Chains A and B, each alone.
Chain A
Amino acid sequence: MSLLELKNISKIYGELKALDNVNIHVDQGEWVAIMGPSGSGKSTMMNIIGCMDKPTLGEVLLDGVDIAKESSKKLTDIRRDKIGLIFQQFHMVNYLTAVENVMVSQYYHSMPDEKEALDALGRVGLRERAHHLPSQLSGGEQQRVCVARALINHPELILADEPTGNLDEANENIVLDLFAQLHAEGTTLIVVTHDPEVADAAQRTIVLEHGKVAREVINENFEAQQKEWLARLKG
């Protein structure tokens, strides 16, 4: 079943076409990677899918609703209810502790629940660091808090823009493990990355160039990878 459909999307800044007639289709539960050189329009596309920006032309159907036509207030509601965001810069509110940062997301969504927030931190392996301020956490740990924050409200779609861009190998693997787990639970994932290893973890990779879809690569090994991953998790 289709969750997201971009139909003839263009985003034009003056002379520059950041996105140029893009068509993309993402199914419910799919794990898609987006690659492309710098300036090819990846973040622009993520902003549009994440309801933070509108395309100049075209339709964006999220759960059958054309978000290109909604008011910004309605977009805020959709973003809050359906989408979890993870950023390269692992943005945290710097005067709130890890668990409070997770609770901020709950606060805007529905009700803050400290126990649930602590469980989410436990899931990313940071139960012990819950009451530390961002300045007391490493980059990798901050990014894991952001993952916990993105999944706390059980979004249908997780959008991650370069989630591993600033992480070392070990932390990158932790994040990829979490993605695999979320995928196994049925969450749809769209991950922008420059890192071929991160792209290879996904089911499908869409490559953007100059604002256009240059090609799509299906990961034939995906089923095998998942099995291997599950086995590793159990063993």
Chain B
Amino acid sequence: MLDFITRIFNRDSGASKNIAKERLRLVLVHDRASVSPQLLQTLKEDLIKVISNYMVIDEDALEVNLENSENQVALIANIPIKSMKRHADVI
């Protein structure tokens, strides 16, 4: 019964607006992910700043990239560690 009411009043699951919204969400993840090299550079610098509080990293070998796949975009960072600090400078 509830299922019936749900279907009448809440056609949402099959409703086209949800398809629209989901498609939009995905396309914007991709659109927004085409960030400028400049932004990636500042992100890198910020990452170095934060991580350096905990470990010594090889700044020159640090790689940060956005990777696109079918239904998501991931931030992939490869951060070679030179050594760990005995105590974190910041907690």
Interaction A to B: no
